[in-house]
Chains A and B, each alone.
Chain A
């Protein structure tokens, strides 16, 4: 899922300072699960904004709404009335959700209330870790299902670097060496021979450079 974390209240106040009526818009999907932008967080952040603006003597009316998915026009349509009666939207969706709402309501400012951070999983209660860099050319099959692009601090495809201590990363001693994990995993599944292969330079043209990425499924086009 997409993992995000909320911006601090002072930053949010600075973002919305010129408005008197604000819609705080939550999303019921990824950011609900990572406890950043679901219905509960909409309530908390809205209350915090009300109290903070009251303390500053600023007049701000805050309305709350949470929809199923902010990255889907079917659900964005449900926000029409609420957006119409407010001056601006503070979206607690991920970066995709913020932009999807903004594209649909082009006469209203739509601000990001979260910092969208990574694609990851819930590791344990209150801890999320990054698992995927969305590089566009997955190599997980070569590395026992452990991504060196995301989890190796040096993004090495032909590791290990030699700097790890015990099973800890040289750059981040608080995390395990990705290449130690890869070795252990490949050994467990009987595929250690994969490490004899020298990985060629990765094709980064499908990653972040070159602007917005696009997937077209002709078989689903109408």
Chain B
């Protein structure tokens, strides 16, 4: 996803994934602080500047009934409810 951000023309530093246990308060705090600093330096999202609305999912046509099997693998509940 970070690679795709760069392909779009956004800085990949705007997205970060960190695995921290709920018991690790300090590392969590540090990660959030660092991320906030990073984004502050980068400035506002250029895609939402100059009156642009936040990017949305846009128009979808009709009913796309295709279930992505990869999603079903990650969450077996989806198979039961669909």
A interface, CB within 8 angstroms of B: 8-10, 23, 26, 28, 32-33, 35, 38-40, 42-44, 46-48, 50-52, 54-56, 61-68, 78, 81-82
Given A9-B7, A39-B66, A40-B68, do A54 and B57 touch, yes or no (CB 8 Å)? no
- Interface of A, secondary structure class, is helix
Complex CA distance for A48 and B53, rounded to whole angstroms: 15
**A8 neighbours in B (Cβ, 8 Å):** 7
- Interface of B, secondary structure class, is loop
User: Sorted from nearest, which 6 A-B pairs have the closest CB atoms?
Assistant: A28-B66, A9-B7, A65-B61, A52-B8, A55-B9, A66-B64
Judge if B59 is at the interface, Cβ distance under 8 Å.
Answer: yes
Distance in Å: Cβ of B81 to nearest Cβ of chain A: 17
Which residues 1-39 in B have Cβ within 8 Å of A in the complex? Answer: 4, 7-10
**A47 neighbours in B (Cβ, 8 Å):** 55, 57-58
Is A65's CB under 8 angstroms from B58's CB? no
Distance in Å: Cβ of A67 to nearest Cβ of chain B: 8
Is B59's CB under 8 angstroms from A64's CB? yes
Is A52's CB under 8 angstroms from B66's CB? no
Name B6's closest neighbour in chain A (CB-CB). A9
**Contact pick for B58, options A26, A46, A67, A78, CB 8 Å:** A46
